[in-house]
């Protein structure tokens, strides 16, 4: 039995390598969207930078992966259903949704900038406590808007935050879900990168905890370990202002969380900003 399962998985991987190959630059989809470059490839979709030939504007087009079958198309439909309810300057607008051939597509505004992951790991940028808090404070605005519409983003991480002219933009709503809704069973089974357990219903705390991890990534951008020192916890490695340390404890579930959601957190960020080093 185990051998047949492994054989099937190997076959599925080989099939995926063939069917999910990125489309070539210059390919036009649905007689409208001409591919400029591949922006990224996820577990269930491929995202391209395209030119909308009708308007001449740059757009981001996400295509379902054929190897993932109906689930991939279903996830795109869910993502589009969330995005059409969101209207915030730090969130790309949903522009189009369609099927072509056996694939499903959604089209959103393209935010030209750099992800904070690129800023830290490719450009080597370092951020002070104040800069980290100011960026996290900006990020709270679109996150709060998502919560107000009855959803969580579900994946607030540095690869999904774009910095453009000093302003943050939140992208990729592929894991967004309604407040109170558990993660789809299909995702729990098939997306290994989603940590367990994920059976509990979605709450704003999920996104606020992500913002805590987001802050840690940003703060570590300026961390330089001592030579020969063994790795330790963030509490030991990062020399933080006490108020910021306390806030991170709350975000990461080490102290009572923010029952008032993003509004309460934003108020505390304002207080902590008065205390941190520049």
The active-site residue, picked from 81, 93, 96, 155, is: 155
Secondary element (H or E) of residue 100: strand 94-100
User: What is the b/e burial string over 39-68, where b = at least 16 CB atoms within 10 angstroms of the residue's CB?
Assistant: eeeeebbbbbbbbbeeeeeebbbbbbbbbb
Rounded Cα distance, 201 and 181, in Å? 5
Structure tokens that stand for 269 in this block = 């960020």
Whether residue 98 contacts residue 87, with contact meaning beta carbons closer than 8 Å, is answered with no
Local structure of residue 96 (DSSP, 8 states): E
For the question of residue 155 being annotated catalytic, the response is: yes
Q: In terms of Cα–Cα distance, which of 1, 186, 34, 29 is closest to 98? A: 29
Listed in sequence order, the residues at least 6 apart from 277 whose beta carbon sits closer than 8 Å to its beta carbon are: 128, 129, 130, 241
Rounded Cα distance, 151 and 97, in Å? 20
Q: In terms of Cα–Cα distance, which of 210, 221, 243 is closest to 139? A: 210
Whether residue 50 contacts residue 62, with contact meaning beta carbons closer than 8 Å, is answered with no
DSSP 213-226: HHHHHHHHTT--PP
Catalytic residue list: 155
């Amino acid at each position: 039995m185990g051998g047949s399962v492994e054989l099937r998985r190997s076959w599925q991987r080989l099939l995926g390598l063939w069917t999910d190959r990125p489309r070539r630059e210059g390919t036009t989809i649905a007689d409208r969207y001409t591919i400029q470059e591949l922006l990224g490839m996820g577990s269930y979709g491929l995202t391209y930078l395209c030119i909308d030939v009708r308007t001449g504007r740059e757009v981001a087009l996400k295509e379902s992966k054929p190897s993932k079958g109906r689930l991939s198309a279903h996830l795109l439909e869910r993502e589009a259903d969330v995005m059409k309810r969101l209207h915030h300057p730090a969130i790309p607008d949903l522009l189009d949704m369609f099927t072509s051939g056996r694939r499903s597509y959604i089209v959103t505004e393209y935010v030209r900038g750099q992800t904070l992951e690129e800023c830290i790991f490719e450009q080597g940028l370092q951020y002070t406590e104040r800069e980290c808090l100011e960026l996290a404070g900006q990020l709270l605005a679109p996150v709060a808007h998502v919560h107000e519409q009855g959803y969580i983003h579900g994946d607030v991480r540095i690869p999904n935050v774009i910095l453009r002219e000093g302003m943050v933009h939140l992208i990729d709503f592929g894991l967004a879900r309604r407040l109170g809704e558990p993660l789809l069973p299909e995702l729990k089974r098939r997306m290994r990168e989603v940590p367990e357990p994920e059976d509990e219903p979605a709450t704003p705390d999920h996104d606020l905890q992500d913002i805590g991890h987001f802050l840690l990534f940003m703060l570590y951008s300026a961390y330089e370990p001592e030579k020969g020192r063994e790795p330790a916890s963030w509490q030991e490695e990062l020399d933080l202002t006490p108020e910021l340390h306390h806030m991170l404890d709350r975000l990461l579930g080490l102290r009572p969380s923010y029952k008032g959601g993003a509004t309460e957190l934003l108020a505390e960020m304002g207080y902590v900003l008065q205390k941190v080093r520049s």
